Structure 1
Amino acid sequence: MEQPPKKLTVTIVGGGIGGLSLANMFEQAGIEYIILEKAKTIRALGSSLGLDASTLRVIEQLGLLDEFMKVSKPVRQFNFYNESIQPIGIVDFSCMTEIGGYPAIILDRPAFYNCLLKKLPKEKILYGKKVEDIEQDDNSATVRCADGSSYTSDIVIGADGAYSAVRRNIYSTLNTKGLLPLSDAQPLSFDQHCLVGVSAPIDPKDDEMLRRETCDFEIVIPKTDPFYAIYMPLPGNRLSWAVIHNVPRAEALEGEARLSEWGPEASSEMIEFVRHQRSPLKGKTLGDIIDMTDKSLISKIALEEKYFQTWYHGRVVLLGDACHKVVPSAGLGANLAILDGVHLCNLLVDMPSPTRENISLIFENYFEKRSKIAQDALNNARQFGKIMSNKGIMADVVRKVFLNYIPDWMTRWSNAQRLQYRPQLHFLPEVPDRGSSKPQPPEPRMFVSVQAAS
């Protein structure tokens, strides 16, 4: 009697945005998975995250859109000010709803995580699992953890962030064999600190920006201070805030000391350094807003960026920040991680059997289709970050042109290009596209002709 095809099994390492969104896709695809998270619980450090039409169509397909819309605000525009809170320019994003069919939205990290966790079985997320080693052969891959446990599956997906243990493991193997590109062995680029948090509720009568149905990013760029601040109104009259401070590259920490999230214990010195700056909230300084924020929820973060050339080895593949870490200034990181998952999940669903040959074909396709998009996103985020953070006469001129003399048609064209890629999970009922700009056609499906013939 012919045996039924073996069900694909996957170990996802990392319980962040990429890992949790991919798990939601696997739930609906019928792919067996577990998530290994090194922390004792998922800590949603940071301030807020954004999504746009490139991912919200998939979020709707997964049945999560209503949850996301309840806890978010639509983004209307970015308002820029000098140190005296005098307006210096606007970037308008209101056309994104019409172009892509969904507004860009902003929500705080805990709410983002709660939306993704809502439909995931609790028993599939294992905490306190620090990855020590990954072994693989022609038939499987085994993740070994510091607590002595091990987990064997067909595929391992490293969605464990900028300092990925999965990436470190496969790079060590490739380096020993002389197969690791030199650039992949270099540390992440790092020249900024970021202080982030979400305030307690603020009385909305204190300021009109808290009473808006939309979220305008209020961005203060001082002439002399080596930092700028971003304020984002959230549901519940709370204010998400971030302070980005340029530092000399020589101050970059090395090795294990360079953590992407340092937590509240490292924040006090930077708080004192930035608290004098005026804020767009009437009569309040940045220090006043920081004082309205629970200190345990304030985090100091190192803003790294790097594009890695190597995304997979054997039965192990990387996703999200583990293979392309972008600075958050352009709001692309969460969208990129989710879109990585969409492409990878579509490929895995069609795979007839988890042979090493089939897995290699899938990973090659995944890298080919996603790597150029990731490189472009990194470059765009870097350029946008420079416009906001660079100092000097030339930087002031560039900023003035960008904020005041870019024609509306060019802004619209740029947003249309960004939102052109609005993919769907092909194994779920399609969500009608509501955008005026036609999306890219779906990618050709692998293995379909082989399955039909069999």
Structure 2
Amino acid sequence: MPSSTLTVTIVGGGIGGLALANMLEQANIDYLVLEKASSVKPLGSSLGLDASTLPCMAQLGLLDDFNKTSKPVRQFNFYNEAIESTGVVDFSCMTEIGGYPAMILDRPAFYDVLLKKLPKHKILYGKRVQSIEQDTNSARVKCADGSAYTSSIVVGADGAHSIVRESMYKELEAKGKLSASDAEPLSFDQHCLVGVTKPLDSSVHEILKRELCDFEIVIPKTDPFYSIYMDLPGDRVSWAVIHNVPRSTAKTSEARLTEWGPDASMEMADFVRHQPSPFKGLLLGDIIDQTPKELISKVMLEEKCFDTWYNGRVVLLGDACHKVVPSAGLGANLAILDGVHLCNLLIDAPQDSQEIIEQIFANYYEKRYKIAQAALVNARQFGKVMSDRGFIAEMVRKVFLNYIPDWLTRWSNAQRLQFRPQLHFLPLVPDHGSFKARPQEPRLFVKQAVST
């Protein structure tokens, strides 16, 4: 059991923050979640989970709810602008490899599942963080409404434009300890328009009758964007239109980027609405018109793996320390896995001294940083395959979609899905994958106790 004095303040009520809250709730570690919004606004398109995180969701008693609100992913179908097939990437092997299928569900459903078992009084809304102070005994979060919260540690799970990271980096910069890379701004890599439609007519659109979800991906030859369609439970369609920014201009500071927010850009919608879709008789514009305006978001997405994840009693999690573009659907899984590793360390902490906290954060960074870096590269490469234009790009896509052998696809998925950690303080769920998961990481403080 954890030290009875250990307490956690989680800044950010997104996927990573709420997933960690569920873990801390089961671990009997005292925590609070501070969310800047006045209520949960799960905008955006959809999110995916796979065998890397589903064992943990099973431990937390959330798997059945995720199964009920999602569809298993079978494959990616690629089309040109005439909706002619250009290739298929089969992901059905992931079920056999990891013991669980990849699944897709919309963001509101995802949030509903994560919030279901959390006590309402532990999630505080309208808490816009202004500053974080710390000493060798505690960390204190001050909010714009005059409230303040003191705890053993502060976890910044507040997204790509993290206030916690900003506060931490200001402190490090003042001491001359901020790396040149961390001082650089995020690169603006993608414009993204996303939404979830109202129920469509399944008698007209055969795609909606499938029990499994295929990603339908349309890559035009000349238009500088591509679109992705995912069928959801309830005859709805999650869609995304992505325009990759050239690397040469990706660091140009255009305007303050927003997180997933309610302001949809009709300018971008008008720019893309002429594109055909895989749905019979519907253009992309028709799909957009079938989407409630409050469920449409236009954002700019970034990518970066920061060098510094912690300082003293403050630590970062999820997009706050490793922001990946959504091309490969890795963001939610990465944030949840961060939480698994951090919670496993916290539950074993013999006390909440500065020395112990720094050991926890150092181990967390050591184990998670390289995995996050690899995920960023994978997402970038997958996005490049879909977004690049020109003769060479078309040849690369043709090889990728039609000539990659099945054994290589299986090997690639097996390499990523070998990381399937579980919460060691809860009963472990059986490993049904044909490729067994890597052994659980040695328990840091148990190992130290044995060695001494």
TM-score (structure 1 length as normaliser): 0.97
**Which secondary structure state, in structure 1, belongs to the residue aligned with residue 109 of structure 2?**
helix
Count of residue pairs the alignment pairs up: 450
Partner of 1:93: 91
Q: Supply the distance in 1 between the matched residues of 2:38 and 2:205 (Cα, whole angstroms).
A: 39
Partner of 1:229: 227
Moved over 2 A (4+): 4-7, 246-256, 260-264, 449-454
Partner of 1:329: 327
Q: Supply the distance in 2 between the matched residues of 1:25 and 1:285 (Cα, whole angstroms).
A: 43
Is 276-285 or 266-275 further displaced after alignment? Answer: 266-275
Partner of 1:320: 318
AA matched with 1:213: E
* Structure 1 residue ranges without an equivalent (≥5): none
**What percentage of residue pairs aligned between the two structures are identical?**
70
Q: Supply the distance in 1 between the matched residues of 2:201 and 2:300 (Cα, whole angstroms).
A: 32
| Shift in Å, 1:347 | 0.3
Partner of 1:158: 156
Partner of 2:430: 432
Alignment of 1:172-191 (within 5 A): 172-191=170-189
Residues 251, 61 of structure 1: alpha-carbon distance in 2 compared, 3 angstrom cutoff: closer
| Shift in Å, 1:191 | 2.9
Residue number among 5, 9, 15 corresponding to 2:7 in the alignment: 9
Work out whether residues 98 and 435 of structure 1, in 8 Å CA contact, stay in contact via their aligned partners in 2: yes
Partner of 2:256: 257
| Shift in Å, 1:252 | 6.3
Work out whether residues 154 and 315 of structure 2, in 8 Å CA contact, stay in contact via their aligned partners in 1: yes
Structure 1 residues 3-50: Cα deviation after superposition (integer angstroms, max 9, x where no partner): x95331000000000000000000000000000000001110100000
Partner of 1:415: 413
Structure 1 residues 76-119: Cα deviation after superposition (integer angstroms, max 9, x where no partner): 00000000000000000011111100000000000000000000
Alignment pair present for 1:44 and 2:42: yes
**Which secondary structure state, in structure 2, belongs to the residue aligned with residue 430 of structure 1?**
coil
Residue number among 108, 111, 114 corresponding to 2:112 in the alignment: 114
Residue number among 281, 284, 288 corresponding to 2:282 in the alignment: 284
Partner of 2:206: 208
**Which secondary structure state, in structure 1, belongs to the residue aligned with residue 25 of structure 2?**
helix
Residues 5, 329 of structure 1: alpha-carbon distance in 2 compared, 3 angstrom cutoff: closer
Structure 1 residues 102-155: Cα deviation after superposition (integer angstroms, max 9, x where no partner): 000000000000000000000000001111100000100000011111000000
| Shift in Å, 1:449 | 4.8
Residue number among 430, 443, 451 corresponding to 2:441 in the alignment: 443
| Shift in Å, 1:450 | 5.5
* Structure 2 residue ranges without an equivalent (≥5): none
Alignment of 1:56-71 (within 5 A): 56-71=54-69
Work out whether residues 133 and 145 of structure 1, in 8 Å CA contact, stay in contact via their aligned partners in 2: yes
Residue number among 286, 296, 299 corresponding to 1:298 in the alignment: 296
Partner of 1:385: 383
AA matched with 1:232: M
Q: Supply the distance in 1 between the matched residues of 2:449 and 2:6 (Cα, whole angstroms).
A: 16
Residues 398, 247 of structure 1: alpha-carbon distance in 2 compared, 3 angstrom cutoff: same
Q: Supply the distance in 1 between the matched residues of 2:400 and 2:283 (Cα, whole angstroms).
A: 27
**Which secondary structure state, in structure 2, belongs to the residue aligned with residue 91 of structure 1?**
strand
Alignment pair present for 1:219 and 2:217: yes
